[in-house]
Amino acid sequence: MAPAATETTTTETQPPTVKLTGAVGPYKELAPIGYEKEAEENGKGGFQAAKYRNYLPTWGKERYSPLEPFEHCDHGLDADPALPDLLPQGVTATELTPAIGTEVTGVQLSKLSPAGKDQLALFVAQRKVVAFRDQDFADLPVSEAVEYARYFGRLHVHPTSGAPEGFPEVHLVHRGAGDKTAETFFQTRTSSVAWHSDVSYEQQPPGTTFLYILDTPETGGDTIFSSGVEAYRRLSDGFKERLHGLKATHSGIEQVNASRAKGGAVRREPVVSEHPIVRTHPVTGEKALYVNPQFTRSIVGYKQEESDALLKFLYDHFAYGADFQARVKWAKGTVVVWDNRVTLHSALVDWQDGQRRHLARLTPQAERPAETPF
């Protein structure tokens, strides 16, 4: 089992905003930093109250020390590849696409044995994203959900997002009933698509990741995923060879600056990390492209124009690759588990009439990204 987080609360005053030199793309910040309390807790303006008020976000003033390295052991390495505990007889597993995505019904994640959890880690690494339907995860005590996810790695505490009171490890994706911030965003932008791998700026970014629905619009608010493994496979051998050995910087500075500019929370000072552009999954051995337009900033050793040109090609490759993408439609009781090491994803802000969209994410960190020779 992964060790507990080594971060500690401090009472430091906020330091000045940090700036990053070099080519920095715009950080597309859509997440609100507040909500109308009366509407969420009691219902208002034709909207019902939030179904899971114990998951309403809070933004405290706590401060955390920098994250310390830890040794991560992926449980997928211990799994029975036949998956007898995860997919026994009677469970239905339907592939969403050949390259990425599976939908599963008939198994309850909260009831899995340690062997079943090991198989879950392996299956998600193989299929990249798996949507489990009819789950009771959201109805568990928050503390039980947190401990469940801790099995898969040290839980990440997000530097800026809202969290349930007393549970900073839970990253909340919350847009309250009647929220209008998306309207302001679309006054200057044409699309809400923001491909990313979660907090890839950390030295040890996430691996097996859990996202579960609390409240969902009647229609819309889907999440799309793209396979970094298939994106890599589609490249020519010569291009693959050019990418191997290259590293890129991933920055958390813009996310923190965006939160500060809006008066939001900053729990930890931002970091910039260097990761290989092609990383190798420790369980499957598959190679995957590991760049994303939200957090990747530049290729180490390249001049700005060179870096921008190559990164734009890779970003466009992901964006145009509808034949290695999968779309998950949210429904009550859905838990989506995906591997942040080998996928990109984006929420779609497309629902109408100010309906509530409320989800919780548990984000176990994994190993430091590494690659094997071409």
Per-residue confidence (pLDDT) for residue 21, from 0 to 100: 39
Q: Identify which of 82, 147, 77 has the alpha carbon closest to the alpha carbon of residue 110.
A: 147
- Is there a contact between 364 and 2 (Cβ–Cβ < 8 Å)? yes
First and final CA of the chain: distance in angstroms?
Answer: 32
Using alpha carbons only, how large is the chain's radius of gyration in Å?
Answer: 20
Residue of 306 and 355 predicted with greater confidence:
306
239: helix, strand or coil? helix
Domains of the chain: 83-362 (3.60.130.10)
| Mean pLDDT, range 210-217, rounded to an integer | 97
What distance lies between CA 167 and its chain's CA centroid? Answer: 18
Per-residue confidence (pLDDT) for residue 182, from 0 to 100: 85
172-186, 289-303, 344-358, range with greatest mean pLDDT: 289-303
If pLDDT is split at 50, 70 and 90, which confidence band does 320 have?
very high
Mean pLDDT of the chain: 91
Per-residue confidence (pLDDT) for residue 5, from 0 to 100: 45
- Encoded amino acid at 252, one letter: G
Residue 9 backbone dihedrals phi, psi, to 5 degrees = -75, 140
DSSP 8-state assignment for residue 307: H
Longest dimension (CA), the chain: 60
Residues 70-100 have pLDDT tens digits of 999 999 999 999 999 999 999 999 999 999 9
The H or E element spanning position 229 is helix 228-233
Residue of 189 and 133 predicted with greater confidence:
133
| Alpha helices by DSSP H, 16-72 | 37-42
With 70 as the cut, is the pLDDT of residue 14 above it? Answer: no
> What's the rounded Cα separation, in Å, for the pair 131 and 48?
27
Token pair of 174 as six digits: 């919350």
Residues 163-213 have pLDDT tens digits of 999 999 999 999 998 888 888 888 888 999 999 999 999 999 999 999 999
| Cβ contacts of 119 within 8 Å, gap of 6 or more | 79, 80, 83, 84, 85, 86, 87
Half-sphere exposure in the Cβ direction for 155 (13 Å, CA): 18
Residue 12 CB burial class (10 angstroms; 0-12, 13-18, ≥19): exposed
| Alpha helices by DSSP H, 137-199 | 142-150, 181-186
With 80 as the cut, is the pLDDT of residue 10 above it? Answer: no
Per-residue confidence (pLDDT) for residue 353, from 0 to 100: 79
Q: Identify which of 176, 255, 217 has the alpha carbon closest to the alpha carbon of residue 352.
A: 217
